Amino acid sequence: MFPVSLYHLYQKEADVISCGNIPLNLHPVDSDFTVDSYRELLVIAKQRYAFVGYRAIPWGQKFVLWRHDCDYSINRAHALAHIEADEGVRATYFLNLHCEFYNLFEKSQHRLVREVLEMGHEIGLHFDAAFHGISDDETLIEQVSAEAAILEQLYGVKPSAFSFHNPVAEHLSCEAETYGGLVNCYSRLFKAEVPYCSDSNGYWRFRRLHDVLTAATDPCLQVLTHPGWWQEVAMPPRQRIFRSIYGRAASTLRDYDSGLEWHDRSNHAGAAAKLRFLKNAHPQLYELCDYLWNAGHLQSLFAELWCLHERQVFLLCKAELRKQWKVPAVELDAFLEDPSFAIDGLRLFSGVFGKTWQSVVSFEESEYWAWIDLRNALIIGRTTALRQRLEDGCAFLCKAIESLAAWGKVQPINHDGIDNLRSIGIPILKTADGSCTDRPEEAGDKIPNFPKRKWEQFKAEMQRLGADEAAK
């Protein structure tokens, strides 16, 4: 049977494995949990400790057991495994056969784990004792052994160790060095001899790993990370989980769509099929709009499509002014972002192209203004619309955006108003926050064939129209 009492060990200097621990750090440092920070940690660690696995621990030497409990994402585990391989270190990835966030029997996830092994890493068993309702040592040994055999069958290699998933006091009271032939990461020996540092819940609950590694005062270490916490950019823990969960969901839906396409089968999507023109032009926006339509968030979808439509009109104008009129980015952006510039996209389009956008796509202007009335009423909360009315509005906007995109592609600018301007040869720069801008700092007199007089006349006319509109 399990021991009645839990063995407690308290060290002020170390994060100790115990359910009774009271966290010391309640405020996460989100910037710690990026892939760049992760690489930095590896560089520091390998300068101070030898990375070892659980099969051959060099007791008495300065070593680190670098371990991952894969709670949320095999995809993020795969990403960290690449970084570790690049840095020439090896880790142990603990896999949960009962995970609610991934499925090891799924082809794509199985492939990723195989690739992690091919990089030279090891696997362990992340064991969910609560799933089995274990209450005695005999059953624990039996189930650990059985799950280890499944992992060995899946990947051709026996896991080296096991760790408890979400352990409670009675689990941590299992302190033998091995169970079912696997090293117990929470054994009495590890608790007593190997200081521990973990990123549980997406932050350093006791000691910050960077500080631990930099000081390197611990004679050895067991470092536990959960790959789902480590992302490309800094974000709070719940957002990291959101990305892991919804990223998997989006991937599953893409697999469904591509499977039907591969087998040349129809993919009936109902009214939401009207969004498919966005799939190649703007994949991320397509996934968002497809989700909103299928989830029934039609008011949000209507607003999102309206924003896309207005951005498209402005971007087509910008493409024409940059590519055909040769207006420098500095000149154009200063004009469009001038607070005194009150012209809307419709009048701007007419001024740039000499015709209304409704006429170029053969739409009735009265129909368009009816949808504007609905948009305005929804924005200020004066009305709610029936589902069918909103769905009709979304369908109208899809048709408008798709038709205008097709028109733009056959114009000299060859632009759909959806993609960024790089697609038509206008330089795009990446900003510090990862977004893109088409604002190189060139001066107007350095642009060949820049029609400065025409540009000044155009600006004056647009400002006059804006002033007239504001005076109404």
Give per-residue pLDDT as tens, 439-465.
444 444 456 667 788 888 888 888 887
User: In the listed set 206, 235, 264, which residue is the last one of a domain according to the structure?
Assistant: 235
Residue 296 lies in a domain: yes
Q: How far apart are CA 165 and CA 186, in angstroms?
A: 11
Domain with 228 in it: what CATH number? 3.20.20.370
Rounded (5°) CA angle 171-73-105 = 85
Q: Find how far residue 428's CA is from the centre of its chain.
A: 23
| CB < 8 Å & 24+ apart, contacts of 354-361 | 357/313, 357/404, 360/404, 360/407, 361/400, 361/403, 361/404, 361/407
Q: pTM for the full model? A: 0.80
Residue 4 lies in a domain: no
Residue 41 lies in a domain: yes
Residues 91 and 173 in one domain: yes
User: In the listed set 184, 217, 235, which residue is the last one of a domain according to the structure?
Assistant: 235
DSSP string, 340-389: T----HHHHHHHHHSS-HHHHTT--HHHHHHHHHHHHHHHTTS----HHH
Residues 401 and 453 in one domain: yes
Q: What does the pLDDT read at residue 437?
A: 54
Return the minimum-mean-pLDDT range out of 49-53, 194-198, 201-205.
201-205
Residues 226 and 105 in one domain: yes
Indicate whether 6 pLDDT > 70: no
Indicate whether 471 pLDDT > 70: no
Residue 18 lies in a domain: no
Q: What does the pLDDT read at residue 28?
A: 64
Q: How far apart are CA 31 and CA 213, in angstroms?
A: 17
| CB < 8 Å & 24+ apart, contacts of 286-290 | 287/250, 287/253, 290/253
Computed over every residue of the chain, the mean pLDDT equals: 87
Q: How far apart are CA 138 and CA 144, in angstroms?
A: 10
Residue 354 lies in a domain: yes
Residues 288 and 350 in one domain: yes
Residue 405 lies in a domain: yes
Residues 212 and 282 in one domain: no
Q: Which domain holds residue 363?
A: 274-471
Residues 167 and 230 in one domain: yes
Give per-residue pLDDT as tens, 138-176.
999 999 999 999 999 999 999 999 999 998 888 888 899
* pLDDT band at residue 422 under the 50/70/90 scheme: confident
Tokens of 451: 């029609």
Residues 202 and 331 in one domain: no
Indicate whether 228 pLDDT > 50: yes
Across 122-136, average pLDDT: 93
Give CA separation, 428 vs 187, 218, 309, 392, 434, in Å: 55, 48, 22, 36, 12
Percent of the chain with pLDDT over 90: 63
Higher-confidence position of 374 and 286: 286
Residues 51 and 193 in one domain: yes
Give per-residue pLDDT as tens, 332-350.
888 888 877 777 888 889 9
Count of structural domains, the chain: 2
Residues 334 and 286 in one domain: yes
